[in-house]
Amino acid sequence: MANRTLIAATALLLGAAPIPASAQQAAAREERAEALPAAPGRDEAFGTCSACHAYRLVAAQGLSRERWDETMTLMTEKHGMPKLEGDERRVVLDYLARAHPPKRATGTGGFQVPFAPQ
């Protein structure tokens, strides 16, 4: 009996192994551009940046325009994102900078002492 439970649990684990990846894709599919702050370039930014990973990963960041620009370059150079240039790049960058600005200007590169009084 205990053995059977173990086998079932193992089978479940083995069967469950691919789930994290597909769950992530499912989560990405559930994301909608309409749920993001409305501003010009939203659909472009959402479409461009959710092609490989959840947009959540992008929205979790708060960066200056310059840092977003660097992030886009990084996505192209390191991860093979099609290079965006000219107006296309400007539109996406405008949105990222506007919708996801630095969270707080601390002067310490965003580092916050976790136990500091708020």
| Residues forming the site for ligand HEC (CB under 6 A) | 48-49, 51-53, 57-58, 61, 71-72, 75, 79-81, 92, 96
Using only C-alpha atoms, the chain has a radius of gyration, in whole angstroms, of 20
Q: CA–CA separation, 26 vs 24, rounded Å? A: 5
Give the nearest distance from C-beta 16 to ligand HEC in angstroms. Answer: 20
Rank residues 7 and 77 by Cβ distance to ligand HEC and give the closer one.
Answer: 77
- For residue 109, the tally of other CB atoms under 10 A from its CB is 6
Return the closest-CA partner of residue 64 out of 103, 91, 106. 103
d(CA 8, CA 54): 32
* Identity of residue 87: D
**Least distance from ligand HEC to the Cβ atom of residue 35, Å:** 17
Q: Which is nearer to ligand HEC, 8 or 35 (CB)?
A: 35
**Residue whose CB is less far from ligand HEC, 12 or 26:** 26
Closest separation in Å from C-beta 1 to ligand HEC: 42
